[in-house]
Amino acid sequence: MFRIFTPQEANRALPQVKQMFRSIVSQKDDVVSLQEELQQTESLSSLEKFIKKKQQLNEAVSKLYKLIELLESIGVLIKSVDEGVLDFPSVRFNKDVWLCWKFGEPEVKFWHDRDEGFKDRKALAPAGLLAEESDLAELR
């Protein structure tokens, strides 16, 4: 589902996003572990054990993609699972931008243009410092 987030909406969604992203990271770790086991099984085990391990890996990869699809279905884009970078579509001065959040940060407080990345992110104005009462004024 496509949606535009305000900073407040992105921050309200963060508890759910964090929980879903933790599940993705955990599942990715499971996939990596199964890949390593599969590499060891390939030369040391019977064909039957290898195929069973490969099927486990296929199921784990499918589950990982389903978890990613579930998170992105609420409108959040995963830029990097490894680095924990996620973007929320937004609009700033009638221009499409990304609200940028990195796993571990307490809230969404950065943005960048669509053609920029994490290294180019800029701080959102703190609440109360803008002409309007909410910190949405900058992103309208």
Query: Position 20: which residue type?
Result: M
pLDDT of residue 139: 52
Higher pLDDT among residues 48 and 69, named by residue: 69
Average pLDDT, the chain: 88
pLDDT tens profile 81-123? 999 999 999 999 899 999 999 999 999 999 999 999 899 999 9
Question: Who's near 93: CB < 8 A, 6+ residues apart?
Answer: 140
C-alpha span between 26 and 14 (Å, rounded): 18
Cβ neighbour number for residue 105 with a 10 Å cutoff = 12
pLDDT of residue 56: 96
pLDDT surpassing 70 at residue 27? yes
pLDDT tens profile 42-52? 776 788 888 99
What is the mean pLDDT of the segment spanning 59-66? 98
What residue has token string 């990596």? 32
Angle at 81 between CA 75 and CA 82, to 5 degrees: 160
Residue 110 parent element (H or E): strand 110-113
Instruction: For residue 56, give the nearest of 26, 92, 80, 32 by alpha carbon.
Output: 32
3-state secondary structure 35-89: HHHHHHHHHHCCHHHHHHHHHHHHHHHHHHHHHHHHHHCCCCEEEECCCCEEEEE
Question: Who's near 32: CB < 8 A, 6+ residues apart?
Answer: none
What is the mean pLDDT of the segment spanning 10-34? 97
Q: What's the pTM?
A: 0.83
Higher pLDDT among residues 19 and 131, named by residue: 19
pLDDT tier, 71 (very low <50, low <70, confident <90, very high otherwise): very high
